[in-house]
Each structure stands twice: as C-alpha cells, then as structure tokens.
Structure 1
Amino acid sequence: MINFEERALEELKTLAAEGGVPAADPPPVRPATSRRRRRAVYGLAASAVLATGIGVGVPMLSGGSAEAQPFEVVKRPDGGILFKVDEFRNPKGLEQRFRDLGLRAVVDYVPYGKKCAAGRFTERPISNDDLNAIYHWLPSPEGRLMTDAELEFYSHRWTEVRPELIPPDATLVLTATLFKVNAKDLPDPGFRDGRRVHNSDSAGSTTLYQLADGPVGPCVLVDDPSQTGPTFDDGPTPPPAPAGSATPAGPLPGR
C-alpha cells in the first residue's frame, strides 16, 4: 500500500504539473484498508500559489493564536455533530467538546513517523459501510442551486458524526497523524498568465477512525516503520561558485 505521504506528494505534484490551484481542500482520499478501520486524508494545500507562496486552506500543525479556537463543533437539530479542525492542537479539548454533546469519543494527534502502540483498546467488529455511515464528510445538497451562505458553509468541508448509529457501549476513536510536504519536493510550476508561480509548503493529516469496545487506554507513542521521517527545508539553494573559486565551509541555512 502506498503510504499517505507518498499519496499526498503525488497529488500535489499532479496539481503543480497541471497548474491547478483549488479554492478549498479536496475531498478525503479513502484508500482500501482492512475491515473495521478506515483512513481519510485531510488538509492538502494547493501546491502552486501565485507570487505570495502562502498555502491555501492549510490546517496549521501547531502554534497559532492562543485566543483562536483550533476547532469548531456544531450540533444539528437532527442530532448530527459537525466538526472541522483549523489547527492541530488541543485534541483533548475537541474530545471533551464531543463528550459535552453526548458523543463518546477519544481524540489523539500523532506526529509524523509515530503511531499509538497497539493493544490500547478492543476494536469492535463493524462493516466499512456502517462505520462510514457513522463518520463521513458532510455532503452538499444536490439537485438545486445553493445560496451564497450555503456555498460558504459547505466550502469548509465539515465532517459529520452520527452519534445515534454508535452502539451504546462503543467509543469512537479518532487518531490523526500529521504530515508535511515541502515545496522543494514539488516540480517547478513555471509561469502562468505571464507571472511566476511558486510552490508552497503543504500540511494536513490522515485520520484513522475506529470503534472500540470497552475502555480506551492512553496513546503511547512508538515508532512507525511504515513511515519515513519528515523532510526539512534547508532554505534556498545557493548559486554555484565561479569556476576556480573556493567555497567556504559552514553550516547549512536554517541549521
């Protein structure tokens, strides 16, 4: 199976090659997995951004304003719970918000290259179709034109959870692994409409969602051998030295 960083990088390379800049995050990629566990990829940024080099629709990996809420959760009149994550911080705050709304859930954010150690809960047998009915992207209305307010609302790519479909003794376990794709790993996008186009760093997450029977233990981080380590941007490549000149030794930029 292609790991999620490779899948994300290939999608970004395709966008850069085609010159496309999406206005919002693309829909989740749900690769085939074993029964009872599914992954969804979130927050792929546009790979090519005009002039500014600022990513479009990128959930922040960390930091941000201390006053800003890193997530938003809304309970609908029909009982469904919608949520979106803008910054990957305070997962236990999101978990508590779910519980305040009657959804028994456990939320963990895992750095790239790590995973939660196995054995922290007993996974409940459930079909992929039933699990996807519980946890899925909120679909936009079909067959009619949407108002400006509706277009704005659905552009945020909300995830919907249906608590009424979760068995009374089960817990929804959400484990988001963060990743980053560096601009230097993308192909040169060249020019568009006479203006130079620049790649931008892109960030996001892949979320594993499962149902647990009984208690869920804490996430103890261990190395994940299926993932390669993250890459780091060493800054711009210096111009080549003139022929015959010596290049002084020194630390790489950013180190």
Structure 2
Amino acid sequence: MRPRRRFVTVPRLLVAAGVAAAAAVTPLLIGNGAPAYAVAESSNGTLTVTVNEMRDPDGLEARLGAAGVKADVTFLPAGKGCAVPRFAGVDATYGGPPAAGAGELRALVNEARSSKATRVTSARTFRIFPEHIRPGETLVLEFRDNGNAQKPWRLGGWLARAHTPVQPCTPVDDLG
C-alpha cells in the first residue's frame, strides 16, 4: 500500500505563514526587554527618570503624577520642537525675551526655578527636584530625538504657572 500523499491546503499555508510572520515580528515588539522609561523615588523626594525609548508619553505623565509631579510630556522627532508659546512659564527661561549674551543667559538660567527643577545626569537619565515645583505648577518636558544612540535625546524642561493650561505641542522645525 502506498502512503497517502498530504496536500498543503490554503488554510494550512496561511496558518504557517502567520506563525512565521509572528515569530519575525515578536522581537521588534518586545525590543531588548528594557522598559521605555523608569521612575525611581529617592528618600529625599528626588525622582530619577530613565528614558530608554521615546514612546508612551501618557504613561510617563501618569507615573510622574503617581510620584506627585504634575507633568506634560512630549516626544518629538529629530529636527522638531514645539511651537511657542504653549503655556505661561513661571520664569523667563520659557517665552521670555532673548538674552543679550552668554553671561545674561547663564545668569537667567542659574536663577530660574525651571532650570533647578530638572537636571540631565547621563545620556538616558535625568533628575526631577520637586522642591522647586510649587503646588499647581506643571513640569513641561519636551524630549527631542537626537538621532544618536549614545545620546538619544535632548530635554527641554520648564515650569508652567500654577493652574494655567498647557496647550498640546504643535511640532515645528527646531531652530536650535
């Protein structure tokens, strides 16, 4: 007796193709296993934020909110920034007149609470110092893709005045 010949039917072929496609796509979705971001709280109230991938800004906002910091997070592609103004800043680091020179700019930044509220500490990590954020203020964080794996993003961090709205980001060409 001759063995029965198996025919590959269209449904079987589609199932096999689907399994192969899923196997190829799964590593892309899972990535390297590192979360997009992490937020760690220290005993003194400082938050250490690590951003591995520029995705899920709403999730990062929620995590910061759970840690007591009201935030507006935007991730932007390379060469883009948010159109100004989108909020009323607490100091002249956002929306104020341009500095007359490097010395004036340095003094402005050193005195501004917005500049004291965040500090980049490494290529993927920055710290938030809640003691510089007053009740009702929003920490506005704009991450710009740097197009560089060693330093993947640039951070713009400002404080919006208490109980004032922060408008959604309208991406425009970045001038700086």
- Normalised TM-score (structure 1): 0.45
The 5 Å alignment of 1:98-113 reads 98-113=64-79
Structure-1 separation of matches of 2:109 and 2:146: 25
Aligned counterpart, 2:165? 215
Which digits, 9 at most, give the CA deviation of each residue in 1:179-199, with x for residues without a partner?
225xxxxxxxxxxxxxxxxxx
Structure-1 separation of matches of 2:132 and 2:62: 20
Aligned counterpart, 2:117? 134
Aligned counterpart, 1:124? 90
Shift of 1:108: 0.4
Structure-1 separation of matches of 2:56 and 2:74: 9
User: Contact 2:61 / 2:72 at 8 angstroms: preserved in 1?
Assistant: yes
Structure 2, unmatched stretches of 5+, are 1-27, 93-107
Structure-1 separation of matches of 2:159 and 2:63: 18
Which digits, 9 at most, give the CA deviation of each residue in 1:143-201, with x for residues without a partner?
xxxxxxxxxxxx886421111221113211110110225xxxxxxxxxxxxxxxxxxx7
User: Contact 2:83 / 2:169 at 8 angstroms: preserved in 1?
Assistant: yes
Structure 1, unmatched stretches of 5+, are 1-62, 139-154, 182-200, 228-255
Change (3 A) 1:205 1:157: closer
Paired residues in the alignment total 129
* Alignment partner of 1:173 out of 128, 140, 146: 140
Change (3 A) 1:82 1:202: closer
* Alignment partner of 2:51 out of 85, 107, 124: 85
User: Contact 1:71 / 1:85 at 8 angstroms: preserved in 2?
Assistant: yes
User: Contact 1:108 / 1:174 at 8 angstroms: preserved in 2?
Assistant: yes
* Alignment partner of 1:159 out of 126, 150, 163: 126
Which structure is richer in relative contact order (CA contacts within 8 A, separation 6 or more)?
1
Structure-2 separation of matches of 1:117 and 1:137: 23
Matched AA of 2:43 = P
Query: Quick check: which has more Rg, 1 or 2?
Result: 2
* Alignment partner of 2:61 out of 83, 86, 95: 95
Structure-2 separation of matches of 1:223 and 1:156: 23
RMSD: 2.6
Structure-2 separation of matches of 1:202 and 1:79: 29
Structure-2 separation of matches of 1:157 and 1:116: 21
Larger mean CA deviation between 204-213 and 112-121 belongs to 112-121
Which digits, 9 at most, give the CA deviation of each residue in 1:228-253, with x for residues without a partner?
xxxxxxxxxxxxxxxxxxxxxxxxxx
Are residues 1:73 and 2:39 paired?
yes
Are residues 1:206 and 2:173 paired?
no
User: Contact 2:75 / 2:143 at 8 angstroms: preserved in 1?
Assistant: yes
Aligned counterpart, 1:48? none
Change (3 A) 1:77 1:203: closer
User: Contact 1:64 / 1:87 at 8 angstroms: preserved in 2?
Assistant: no
User: Contact 2:90 / 2:114 at 8 angstroms: preserved in 1?
Assistant: no
Q: Please identify which structure carries the higher helix content.
A: 2
Shift of 1:217: 1.1
User: Contact 2:52 / 2:124 at 8 angstroms: preserved in 1?
Assistant: no
Q: Aligned with 1:73: secondary structure?
A: strand
